Structure 1
Amino acid sequence: MNINDAELVVQLQNNEVNAFDSLYWKYHQAVYRNIFKFVKDAAVTEDILQEVFARLWEKRESIRPDQPVSGWLFVISFNLSVTYIRKKMREQALHKNILAQEAGDIPVADHASMNEEQYNLLVKAIAQLSPKKRTIVTRCKLEGKTYDEVASELNISRNTVKEHLSAAMLILNDYMQRNGDPRYILLLLFFLNYRGTLS
C-alpha cells in the first residue's frame, strides 16, 4: 500500500480535515465510477458517494493504517450500492427475490460486521498474490485506474497488465469462494469481476 495512505489514515484519526480532503480527491473518481457501473444512475451515485466518504469520517478511528484504505472504500461503496439495488427492486416489486436468493436477507444490525468481514476477506485474498499481481489488482480494482494508466506507471504493456489481472482474478475468486460467507460472497465476487470492464 502507498505509505502516503497510511500516513493520511493516521492524520485522519487525529481529526485532521486536510487528510480527509486528500483521500477524497485521491479516490472519489474511482469510487464514483464503481458505484455508477452498478446503480446506473448519476444522482443516486452522487448520493452513495457522499455517504461513502461520510462513513470514512465517521468510522475513521476503526480504520487500520496498515491496510489499504482503498479496499475499505471499495467494500463500503459495494454494500451501499447493493442496499440501494435491493431497496429499488422491493419498491418496484420486480424480481424482489433475486438478490435475497443470492445474498440472503442480512439484518441491518449485521451490516457493520458484514463490512468488516468483507474487508478482511478482500485484504487476505489480495495478500495471496505475487507483488506484481497485488499491485495491478490494487491499482485497477481498488483505485479504479485503467489498463493503460497502470501499464504506463509500471512500464509494462497493456496486455501484460490484462494477463496479470486475469490470472490474479482467478486466484482471488478461488480464495474467496473457499473462505467467504455464502450470504454475500457471490455478490462480492460479481462486483470484483464487474469492475474489470473499466478499461
Structure 2
Amino acid sequence: MSNSNAELIARLQQHDVGAFDALYWQYHEVVYRNILKFTKDAIAAEDILQEVFIKLWEKRHTIKTEQSVAGWLFVISFNLSVNHTRKRLREQTLQKKLAAIEPDSGMPAGIIRYEEQYQLLESAIQQLSPQKRKVVTLCKLEGKTYEEAAGELKISRNTVKEHLQAAMVNLNDYIRKKAHIYIAFFVALLND
C-alpha cells in the first residue's frame, strides 16, 4: 500500500495509529519550524506542535481524503500560534503595568499575589460583552490606539471609545463588588 496523503487520511479515519505516525513523521519538522518562526519560543513551539497533532487525531473524521494535510496542519498550527502569542502579549503587558505600580501604593504588603490579581482582572473582563472584551483587550492589554482597534474591529473610532468607556465602568463596578482591597490597584492599572 502506498503512503499517499489520501490513503493515510483514509487509514487515519479508521483509527490506524500507523497512519498517524506516518503523517507525524512526514510533517512534524516543517510544522515545528513554522510555529517557531511565529512564536520565537522553542518550548512553546514544542507544546503547540503537540496540540496540532492532538487536533489531527481528534478531528480525523472531519478531514476529507482529497484535502491537503499540509494545508490543514498549517492552518491549525497558525491559529494555535496566534492564540499563544496573544496570550503571551497580554501577560507581558499586564506584568509591565504591575511593575510600574509602586509598592507603597496603599496595597497591604504580602496580601495580594500577582496570580490573584490577574485572575480577578481576567474574571472581570470575561463578564463584558464580546465586543467590549475585544476593545479592552486591544486598547488596554495590547496597547493599540483607538484607530488601530477600530480598523481591526471594522467599527468607528468613536464606537471604540464608547465601548471602552462603558467597559471601564463595568470593570470598575465588578472589581469593586468582588474585592474591596483590589480597588486602588485595578483603578490605577486600568485607567493607566
TM-score, L = length of structure 1? 0.51
Distance 1:161 1:179 in 2: 26
Distance 2:185 2:157 in 1: 28
Distance 2:120 2:42 in 1: 23
- Cα distance change of structure 1 residues 150 and 160 upon mapping to structure 2, 3 Å threshold: same
- Runs of 4 or more consecutive aligned structure 1 residues displaced over 4 Å after TM superposition: 10-13
RMSD: 3.4
Distance 1:75 1:154 in 2: 22
Q: Which has the larger radius of gyration?
A: 2
Look up the SS of the partner of 1:174 in the other structure. helix
Matches within 5 A, 1:125-144: 125-144=124-143
Distance 1:70 1:181 in 2: 28
Distance 1:186 1:171 in 2: 16
Q: Structure 2: which amino acid aligns with 1:74?
A: T
Amino-acid identity (%): 42
Pick from 167, 189, 192: which aligns with 2:190? 192
Contact 2:132–2:164 under 8 Å retained in 1: yes
- Cα distance change of structure 1 residues 16 and 179 upon mapping to structure 2, 3 Å threshold: same
Q: Structure 2: which amino acid aligns with 1:114?
A: R
- CA offsets, 1:135-164, max 9 Å, x none? 010000000000011111111111000001
In the alignment, structure 1 segments of 5+ residues that lack a partner are: 1-6, 20-64, 87-97, 195-199
Whether 1:155 and 2:187 are equivalent positions in the alignment is no
Distance 2:180 2:115 in 1: 12
- CA offsets, 1:21-79, max 9 Å, x none? xxxxxxxxxxxxxxxxxxxxxxxxxxxxxxxxxxxxxxxxxxxx6x9333322332222
- CA offsets, 1:111-143, max 9 Å, x none? xx6110011111111100111111010000000
CA displacement at 1:15 relative to structure 2: 5.9
Which residue does the alignment assign to 2:91? 72
CA displacement at 1:193 relative to structure 2: 1.1
Contact 1:140–1:147 under 8 Å retained in 2: yes
Distance 1:168 1:116 in 2: 22
Which residue does the alignment assign to 2:43? 14
